[in-house]
Amino acid sequence: MVVSNMERFKDYILEVSNLTVSISNQIILDNITFKLEKGAILAISGPNGAGKTVLFRTLLNTLPYTGKIEWKEKVKIGYVPQILSVRDIPISVKEFLSFKNGANIENALNLVGLNSKEILNKSLGTLSGGQLRRVLIAWAIKDKPNILLFDEPTTGVAGVSDIDSEESIYRMLRNLTKENEMTLLLISHDLHIIREYSDFLLVLNNCVTFFGESKEIMSESLQEAIYGEHVCREI
């Protein structure tokens, strides 16, 4: 493959080559290859069971794999999982965030749009879905990572208030990453969110069925990649 001058000078924070992951002798990810530029927002989409969360777990080095994952030197990763049940945990927001080293708690909460004076002493179990998601994001950014991984960041979020609205959380994530020069990977099924709040899109169906700019989301070929037949693409 011939590498152009423009390609040569891009500042990549992550390069994945021929990544294959098998669980219980079943191939979950098959020959995944893509690159991510520093400071970009990458949305990852695909049907249930396509391997999206497995990709995150592999990037976090919690699953065995073949192929190559190359992070830029000295990268620090923040991660928010899809599901975290805290309703029965008798712990306050302040106590929860104190378990992790890093920046001032109040500063972390302010960055995610929460008033620290109003929320610090509240129990996690009493928070709304949007408040809890923002607290988990504050946890992820407290030690100032330069890359963030969010697995369905608005799962369990519903409401009419700005704090609880799905759209406001994505706006906050976009602004947070851009203002702090962080790179963001997020899993989403929402085509509007993908188009409005990400730069690039990786569509998985165990293999790569699309990788390119998110603005192509309404193209016929991309709709086919997301909703059509299982066709792997070479990157």
117-150 confidence digits (pLDDT tens): 899 999 988 888 888 889 999 999 999 999 999 9
Q: Is residue 190 within 8 Å of 45, Cβ to Cβ?
A: no
Has residue 2 got a pLDDT over 50? Answer: no
Confidence of residue 42 (pLDDT cuts 50, 70, 90): very high
Cα gap 115→161, rounded to integer Å: 15
Cα gap 176→22, rounded to integer Å: 34
Tell me: the pLDDT tens digits for 159-168? 445 566 788 8
From the list 161, 104, 164, the residue with the least C-alpha distance to 129 is 164
Give domain 11-75+182-235's CATH superfamily.
P-loop containing nucleotide triphosphate hydrolases (3.40.50.300)
State mean pLDDT over 218-230. 67
Q: Is residue 54 within 8 Å of 28, Cβ to Cβ?
A: yes
- What pLDDT score was predicted for residue 4? 47
Bridge partners (DSSP) of residue 26 are 23
- DSSP characters for 127-148? S-HHHHHHHHHHHHHTT--SEE
Which of these ranges, 1-10, 30-39, 216-225, has the smallest mean pLDDT?
1-10
What residues does each domain of the chain span?
11-75+182-235, 82-145+154-180
- Pick 53 or 220 by higher pLDDT: 53
